[in-house]
Structure 1
Amino acid sequence: MSEKPKTSRRDLFLGLGAIALVGGGWQAWVHRPRKMTFEPIDGLPGWRKTVFEGVSAPRGGLSTTAAFAGLGNETTNPTTLSPEQLCRTLFQDAEDGRAPVAAFSDFFCPYCRTLTERLAARASDAASQPAITWHELPLLGPSSVIAARAAVAADLQGRYPEFQAALNSSQFRPTTRHIADTADAAGVRPGKLLIDMDGQIVASRLARSRAAAQTLGIYGTPALVIGRTLVIGEISDRNLDELLAAEANTPASC
């Protein structure tokens, strides 16, 4: 019986190196800068949209109606807004001289977490400093809705960024204990947060964000509105910075 040829350590390293190169090349291809093309948004003169890959959306179709269906009272029957109402809803935290940005996310959307970190870094960068208004858009199930309520309730205590970071770094569990522990770690009063989660103020905030998403035709997350430009899905750093620069002087009001 002949012996099987032995694989040398050199061949093993070469094979592992080839796998690493292929994997690195694939990652580079996925995250490559892509030329942005734009098309107008129906019913909103002066607004445009561009769509990239990397969207977390509910199953059963990519229409806006399908995206809001089947998730309970918090996501049913969203209304549409006039352009004036849309701007007031989108850019609540706008400041003159800073690109107005509305960021829609879902805590169970994997693309949202990385984009949230990148946006937060730019918000603290003196060179760009976009004025970001965060919008919860829970489309991925009941747990997403609970996380969204908790995040908005944390914002009522002025601790949204801290709670957002704590929630993004955890394996979220929709239990009272986990939410209270996360709130405590973020400097949020847990008892008040748990009460506010089921209050009218939180429900109204979520309803306004849903109405803005319905008006723009957002069917999944992440989604960004930078000035008058809508982006649904992943976006490279280069494309993001190009849009922030292009929309830097866009007024927040319509």
Structure 2
Amino acid sequence: MTIRRRDVLIFGGIVSAIYGLRALPWQRLTGRGLAYVEIEDVPPFRRLKSEGQTSSASFALIGLDGPSDDAEVRRARMEAMRADPCPALFGTDLPADVIPIAYFGEFRCPFCRTLERDLDKLLADRGDAYRLVQHELPIFGPASELAARASVAAARQGRQQDLRRRFMRTPLVADTSSVLSVASGLGLDVEQLAKDMASPEIQAELDQTRALADLFGFIGTPGLVIGRTVLNGAIPVSVLRQVAEDEETLPLPVC
């Protein structure tokens, strides 16, 4: 029993140390700032040169079936978005003095969970300075797409984050009945949710998110656009905070 307790304490210490190291501002400690590169064909956006950890569909399967049937449609949607992505990315009611954060996630993505915890810390520190806009980017097949539809539909009842986080703690959300069961447990209007999930408006929103992801080069999740800065993957919380602080030095509104 003593050995087990000791092992648990050692493991807990290692985990705490890892998270503590993630939170340190390494760029500042080493005297280096973050490096950005302009995205020439999508002004005024820029990309953080370093990338984080991402979840994506298996690369072993990519290309085996040839191009997808909707490849040209997706390209057309992306190109239509290029001239003015901001309304779709950040919404149309953004206050001029707030830095918007567009978050592209998927409920089965383990790195998304880490990043969401860090985003919660950022918003807790300076919630009045930022606004988080959720984008569902399902990449793991039909079950993910179903959960994404439910998440977008739940936003119409003001319960999107509640439902998303419950999905992340639920081992099996694979069909409509299981999705509605989870929603019912949270007290959502299940009949309205099911109706909204099947609506063309929800499909249009998911198509719009996919077009934005294609435009900014998100082939996996998570993805972030903090103000003008595009980030791929889950980055350390210290980098997340520094990007946000760098954005605060730039003029608002973003676009």
Q: Give the alignment of 1:62-211 within 5 angstroms.
A: 77-78=74-75, 79-80=77-78, 81-92=80-91, 94-126=94-126, 129-211=129-211
Residue identity matched to 1:85: D
Q: Secondary structure at the match of 2:215?
A: helix
Relative to structure 1, is the Cα distance of residues 128 and 42 closer, same or farther in structure 2, using a 3 angstrom cutoff?
same
Between 120-129 and 224-233, the greater mean CA deviation after superposition = 120-129
Q: Hey, what's the Cα distance between the residues in 2 that align with 1:29 and 1:157?
A: 37
Contact 1:40/1:47, CA 8 A, preserved across alignment: yes
| Deviations 1:54-76 (CA, angstroms, capped at 9, x unpaired) | 10012228x9x99xx76x86997
Contact persistence 1:137–1:206 (CA under 8 A): yes
Q: Could you tell which deviates more after superposition, 198-207 or 81-90? A: 81-90
| CA drift at 1:16 | 4.9
Contact 2:151 2:163 in 1 (8 A): yes
Please say if residues 75 and 210 of structure 1, whose CA atoms lie closer than 8 Å, have aligned partners that are also in contact: no
Q: Deviations over 1:117-145 (max 9, x none)?
A: 33245435455542011000111222111
Deviations 1:183-206 (A, max 9, x none): 123332111111211210100100
Counterpart selection for 2:41 from 23, 40, 43: 43
State the AA in 1 paired with 2:85: L
CA contact (8 A) 1:98 1:131 kept: yes
Question: Which residue is 2:242 aligned to?
Answer: 242
**TM-score, reference length from structure 2:** 0.78
- 2:98·2:253 contact (CA, 8 Å) conserved in 1? no
Bigger helix fraction? 2
CA contact (8 A) 1:104 1:224 kept: yes
C-alpha offsets along residues 169-227 of structure 1, whole Å, 9 cap, x if unaligned? Answer: 22242223321122123332111111211210100100111111111111110000001
- Cα distance in structure 1, aligned partners of 2:220 and 2:157: 28
Give the number of the structure whose alpha-carbon radius of gyration is greater: 1
Specify the alignment match of 1:6 in structure 2.
none
Question: For 1:14-29, what aligned pairs fall within 5 Å after superposition?
Answer: 16=7, 20=11, 23-24=14-15, 27=18
Deviation at 1:27, TM superposition (A): 3.5
CA deviation after TM superposition for structure 1 residue 52, in Å: 2.2
Counterpart-to-counterpart distance in 2, 1:115 and 1:219? 17
Q: Which residue of the partner structure matches residue 58 of structure 2?
A: 59
Please tell me the residue identity of whatever aligns with 1:38. Answer: Y
Equivalent AA in structure 1 for residue 169 of structure 2: S
Q: Does 1:229 align with 2:229?
A: yes
Contact 2:146 2:176 in 1 (8 A): no
Deviations 1:29-58 (Å, cap 9, x if unpaired)? Answer: 984756432222241233211242310012
State the secondary structure of the residue aligned to 1:96: coil
Contact 1:166 1:185 in 2 (8 A): no
Q: Matched residues in 2 for 1:112 and 1:18: separation?
A: 27
Using a 3 Å threshold, how does the CA distance of structure 1 residues 167 and 22 change in structure 2: closer, same or farther?
closer
